[in-house]
Amino acid sequence: MDLELRHLKIVRAVAEAGSVTKAATQLGLAQPALTAQLKRIERVLGGALFERDHNGARPTPLGELVLSRAMVLLPAAQELQEEAVRFANTSGDVPSYRLGATNGPVLGGLVDRLATAWPSAPVSTYTSWSAKELTAMVMLGRLDFALIGACGESPPPVEGPVVWLTVGVDPVFVLLDENHPLVGRKEVALAELAGEQWAVAPGDSCFGDCFATACARAGFTPRTIYETDVSTCMHLAKVGRAAALCQATFQPAPGIAMVPLADAPLRWRQLLGWHPEGAATQVSASVVEHAKAAHADSVQRSTRYAAWLADNPRFGTSP
């Protein structure tokens, strides 16, 4: 038997868990099967790698040597795999655009603009409520670009080699039943909605904390918050069960009115990200301009937002 990377992963798992039994659980193996594999690995390497007793497993001097090499080889192999995936997915004469996005106003317009500008270039999409998932996919070369949202001035969700550019900054408005007494007002103070229940689409940003802070500044603690999909948020708003928080570019369904919040206590940054070492960098400037144009189109489609921008020029599409 030759030594393989999976064998080094087993040795690392046992060392990190401090127990063969715990390592077996983490690796999804039966404990006897892992013990048998470890014995085969030790035969290949010429000696015991761990001292095992009722207190767990501790590396022997030989085990320490193997672990020191594994801590270099395993990350290097992972890095090689990621670079190979990026290369395989970005090489070739015909560009392709693999776009990932959370719920937002840019994706549809960007797809349309890219398909119009480069009819022969394949465009694919992937959506997720998790900005962290999309960022990881860009880092691994499985997406060329990610469109995500970030609350206020919060940083992107994951530290790593991804370039982020702000496409636009939008306020958060509120959706109310069209017969709600506050509908028709130019703006509504957040404090005037203190008695409402709330609905919001899920995400892994700090938006929930930012909303709670804004409510505290307005002098109240929000009642029930329904975290659910967009269609359910709209339904709850339409039947008067909740005030639904939404991006100002949102297009409300019949029976629902969108109302700006005074002084814009909550805002949402639309971000476009890509890997600086991938082929996406070669077309990033063009994709950024198309993304900004798609955002500007979404702003103009929202007549309430477009009118509000006249008095609040610091928001909207980035220059």
Please state the three-class secondary structure of 52-121 as a single string: EECCEEEECHHHHHHHHHHHHHHHHHHHHHHHHHHHHHHCCCCCCEEEEECCCCCHHHHHHHHHHHCCCC
Question: What does the angle CA 310 – CA 311 – CA 316 come to, to the nearest 5 degrees?
Answer: 60
The share of the chain scoring above pLDDT 70, in percent, equals: 95
Separation CA 80–CA 82 (nearest Å)? 6
Residues in the chain: 319
Residues 198 and 204 sit within 8 Å (Cβ to Cβ) = no
pLDDT the model gives residue 280: 85
Is the pLDDT confidence value at 78 over 90? Answer: no
Min mean pLDDT across 21-25, 93-97, 226-230 is at: 93-97
pLDDT band at 83 (very low <50, low <70, confident <90, very high): low
- Residues 240, 244, 248, 253: is their CA dihedral positive or negative? negative
What is the rounded average pLDDT of the residues 262-274?
Answer: 95
CA dihedral 300, 272, 159, 28 (to 10 degrees): 100
What is the rounded average pLDDT of the residues 47-53?
Answer: 91
Could you tell me the domains of the chain?
5-90 (1.10.10.10), 93-319 (3.40.190.290)
pTM for the whole thing? 0.69
Residues 139 and 162 sit within 8 Å (Cβ to Cβ) = yes
pLDDT of 161-198, one tens digit each?
A: 899 999 999 999 999 999 999 998 999 999 999 999 99
pLDDT of 152-161, one tens digit each?
A: 888 877 667 8
Separation CA 317–CA 267 (nearest Å)? 13
More confident residue, 86 or 281: 281
pLDDT band at 93 (very low <50, low <70, confident <90, very high): very low
Instruction: Compute the half-sphere exposure of residue 80: CA atoms within 13 Å on the CB side of its CA.
Output: 7
Residues 244 and 177 sit within 8 Å (Cβ to Cβ) = no
What is the rounded average pLDDT of the residues 110-115?
Answer: 94
Nearest in space to 301 (alpha carbons), one of 248, 262, 261:
248
Tokens coding 292: 């900004």
Separation CA 172–CA 174 (nearest Å)? 7
Q: At what angle do helices 20-27 and 5-17 cross, to 10 degrees?
A: 120
- Residues 270, 276, 280, 285: is their CA dihedral positive or negative? positive
Question: What does the angle CA 127 – CA 133 – CA 135 come to, to the nearest 5 degrees?
Answer: 95
pLDDT the model gives residue 161: 85
More confident residue, 4 or 126: 126
What is the pairing mode between strands 145-151 and 97-101?
A: parallel
